[in-house]
């Protein structure tokens, strides 16, 4: 039998206790509770005592020979969970968490869903509650096309939009394995929904045009993009081909086919861009503004890093921890904005509903987080002590990287929307003739393989962009 302590003597903690008592095959022996509510400390709940407060956790683990801690406070702030995790790690005991509020709303509060603590549990972002009725009406009888559907944002867009039962979801990506995996998952989750899965490249105008003519989508969520800064610094022509020319293809075709709404998924790196990836995303936003019309509303949604996306720092750190370290960070001062993938997508959907055309929506990312702090949290989540079990080393800033990111530039004036976590801005519009000239010039440069001219041409369109790689 394993000695278990439950943190939280509220409804969730009591439910966990009941399920443990009803499942002797789990071989768990509940020793008691701890709780931050002074009125509960000392109480007996279903025969088990509330032994103390959070500050007593270390002493109780030692005195009661606790082997596992279950954190059963679904609405707890990240800093509280972080404190419990730190104590458990240093005491070398296991820890799990009852799913957070969003998961409970979705009916997943049972003991079988008690899971390992994830990094997003520790970062303190309040849970976003979806406005289900509004979004259900927004997607009713609509055909939705998602580009980059197999990626981190695209696949979560698929999951969330599918739950609102649109007329059809058209899921497009060039990544064969990703589409294969997505199809397997989403058909099992929503067997009665209408899906179409398409392998195509957004740079292929004729193919994309035929897809729009065949499926006639009402809304487009454009999530397809190259996103890795160092790689796009090395291959700027590929960033332009995909993020600019591919986006221009899609936008033109959407306008021609009278799509109602076209949502461009953008990035904080588009604000004051110093790297090619960020610059190409800013230009994609500009394309949307240039083509915005009464018939087709183009809307951009900009946000920072999402946790645990494909190729993200979270996945890199996890692999480095699995290998015994060290964790590598470019600069000790480095900070980034982070948001969970489900939260970001929920806000994208709300922005799509709010948008009337031509807006730049900026998601409230909370406070920036030090990358070294994120690394330390992940080390503790894996049951290790930072600096002792797993070392952290610094390798130096890479080409195109900023120490700190911003979500908007000094010329972009943000105003609140009725949705508290979404701001709206009218960002600087590109001169239409200059933008069209840039697009044509990029096609010529790429066709003649004069890729050394790419940065210079971006600088001609965005004067603040450095013409030489740093």
Adjacent-strand bridge partners of 301: 265, 361
Residue 174: helix, strand or coil by DSSP?
Answer: coil
Residue 12's nearest CA partner among 27, 31, 33 is 33
Identify the sign of the CA torsion 90, 93, 96, 97. Answer: negative
DSSP result, 242-287: IIIIIHHHHHHHHHHTT-SEEEEEEEGGGSS--SHHHHHHHHHHHH
Among residues 86, 227, 269, 421, which one is catalytic? 269
Q: Verify whether residue 441 is a known catalytic residue.
A: no
**123 class by beta-carbon count within 10 Å (0-12 exposed, 13-18 middle, 19+ buried):** buried
Distances (CA, A) of 17 to 214, 283, 329: 55, 55, 41
Adjacent-strand bridge partners of 2: 28
DSSP character at residue 240:
I
The token pair that represents 442 in the structure block = 């990029």
Contact of 321 with 384, CB cutoff 8 Å: yes
Helix/strand/coil percentages in the chain, nearest 5? 45, 20, 40
Q: How far is CA 274 from the centre of its chain?
A: 22
Strand 143-147 and strand 168-173: the pairing is parallel
Q: Quickly tell me which residue has 């197999």 as its tokens.
A: 150
**460 class by beta-carbon count within 10 Å (0-12 exposed, 13-18 middle, 19+ buried):** middle
Residue 395's nearest CA partner among 310, 316, 277, 318 is 316
Count of beta carbons in the 10 Å neighbourhood of residue 391: 14
Largest CA distance in the chain: 78
Residue 391's nearest CA partner among 336, 317, 314 is 317
The rounded distance, in Å, linking the Cα atoms of 219 and 270 is 23
Residue 110: helix, strand or coil by DSSP?
Answer: coil
The rounded distance, in Å, linking the Cα atoms of 48 and 8 is 12
Determine the angle formed by the axes of helices 132-139 and 341-354, rounding to 10 degrees.
60
Q: What b/e sequence results for 314-335 when a residue is b if at least 16 CB atoms lie within 10 Å of its CB, and e otherwise?
A: beebbebbeeebebebbeeebb
Q: Catalytic amino acids?
A: 269
């Amino acid at each position: 039998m394993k000695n278990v302590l439950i943190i939280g003597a509220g409804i969730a903690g009591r439910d966990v206790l009941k399920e443990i008592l009803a499942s002797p095959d789990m071989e768990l022996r509940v020793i008691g509770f701890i709780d931050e509510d002074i009125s509960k400390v000392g109480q007996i709940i279903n025969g088990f005592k509330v032994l103390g407060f959070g500050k007593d956790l270390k002493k109780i683990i030692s005195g009661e020979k606790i082997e596992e801690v279950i954190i059963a406070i679904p609405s707890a702030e990240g800093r509280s969970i972080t404190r419990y995790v730190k104590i458990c790690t240093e005491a070398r005991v296991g820890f799990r968490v009852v799913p957070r509020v969003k998961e409970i709303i979705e009916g997943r509060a049972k003991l079988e869903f008690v899971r390992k603590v994830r990094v997003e549990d520790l970062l303190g972002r309040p849970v976003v509650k979806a406005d289900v009725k509004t979004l259900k009406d927004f997607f009713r009888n609509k055909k939705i096309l998602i580009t980059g559907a197999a990626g981190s944002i695209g696949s979560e867009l698929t999951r969330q939009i599918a739950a609102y039962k649109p007329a059809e979801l058209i899921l497009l990506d060039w990544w064969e394995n990703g589409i294969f995996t997505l199809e397997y998952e989403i058909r099992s989750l929503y067997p009665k929904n209408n899906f179409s899965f398409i392998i195509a490249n957004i740079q292929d105008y004729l193919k994309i045009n035929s897809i729009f003519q065949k499926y006639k989508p009402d809304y487009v969520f454009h999530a397809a993009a190259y996103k890795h800064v160092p790689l796009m610094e090395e291959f700027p022509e590929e960033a332009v081909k995909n993020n600019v020319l591919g986006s221009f293809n899609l936008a033109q075709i959407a306008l021609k086919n009278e799509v109602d709404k076209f949502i461009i998924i953008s990035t904080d790196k588009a604000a004051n861009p110093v790297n090619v990836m960020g610059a190409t995303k800013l230009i994609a936003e500009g394309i949307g503004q240039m083509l915005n019309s009464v018939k087709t509303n183009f809307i951009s949604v900009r946000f920072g890093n999402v946790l645990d996306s494909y190729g993200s720092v979270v996945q890199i750190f996890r692999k480095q921890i699995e290998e015994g370290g060290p964790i590598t960070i470019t600069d000790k001062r480095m900070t980034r904005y982070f948001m969970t993938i489900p939260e970001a997508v929920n806000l994208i959907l709300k922005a799509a509903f709010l948008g009337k055309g031509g807006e730049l929506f900026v998601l409230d990312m909370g406070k920036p987080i030090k990358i070294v702090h994120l690394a330390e949290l992940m080390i503790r989540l894996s049951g290790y002590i930072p600096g002792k079990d797993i070392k952290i080393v610094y390798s130096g800033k890479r080409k195109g990287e900023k120490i700190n990111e911003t979500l908007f530039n000094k010329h972009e004036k943000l105003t609140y929307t009725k949705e508290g976590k979404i701001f709206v801005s009218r960002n600087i519009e590109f001169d239409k003739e200059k933008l069209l000239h840039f697009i044509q010039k990029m096609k010529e440069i790429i066709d003649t393989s004069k890729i050394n001219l790419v940065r210079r041409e971006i600088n001609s369109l965005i004067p603040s962009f450095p013409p030489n790689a740093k």
